[in-house]
Amino acid sequence: MKHAKSFLFTILLTGACVSGAHGQGVIGLPYFGLEVGYERLRGIPNTNSLDGIGAGAELNFPMTRGRQEVGLDARAGLDFFRVDGSGHTRHLTMVDAGLRAYSPVQYGLKPYAGVGLGWGRLSDSPQAGPTTTTDTVYFPLEAGIELARGPFSVTPFFRYIVSTDGDFDDFWEAGGKAAYWFDRGMATTVSVTHTDFKGDDRKLGVRVGLLFTF
């Protein structure tokens, strides 16, 4: 938790440094994004850490245009990670869609909040014991603030996953995503996410990606 707090402070400080002027952000744009990167899961008994790969895709479409008191985006996403080590393997697949409401840009800041509906599958294969697979319908809740200046944007976020299956525990994520626009049609992204599962299981993900507007 200490490392997570330090990371979040760094994200907020970085955002404060780039928020001085209006720039091109991500929220409120029609876009398709892909990302891939490294994942490390710690806290599982009898293992040092599980390391592997994660990937995601997201489609965003604005439902409102022009100057509105509240903007609204419709989004859909796919997220996957697979980690292994010490004879233990875990992978999680999540697919969801939802709505994201946001405030118009003021001083380079754009706060937002969202809710959705999704399906997830968690598979756990311990070194000793059978593989368990759990499916659930879940509700993703999210909030954050986008800070944009020129071709740069930084978006600290918090996300909470509410599961409808008792065998699939709720969990939360916090992190940030930075974007740099090469032009108005394409950007590169870097994201860092801390995930806190029930118990001592904690995951750190670092991903890079590309984002295309349409």
For 141-161, write each residue's pLDDT tens digit. Answer: 999 999 999 899 999 999 999
Residues in CB range of 56: below 8 A, 6 or more apart: 33, 34, 35, 36, 77, 78, 79, 80, 207, 209
CATH number of 2-213: 2.40.128.100
pLDDT number for residue 66:
67
Highest mean pLDDT among 3-12, 17-26, 135-144: 135-144
Domain boundaries, the chain: 2-213
CB-based contact 30:212 (threshold 8 Å): no
Strand segments, DSSP code E, in the chain are 31-42, 50-62, 71-85, 88-102, 109-125, 132-149, 152-163, 171-183, 186-196, 202-213
User: Can you read off the two tokens belonging to residue 192?
Assistant: 């860092």
pLDDT number for residue 106:
75
Average pLDDT, the chain: 88
Beta bridge partners of 178: 154, 190
Question: What is the Cα–Cα distance from 194 to 8, expressed in whole angstroms?
Answer: 9
pTM metric for this prediction: 0.85
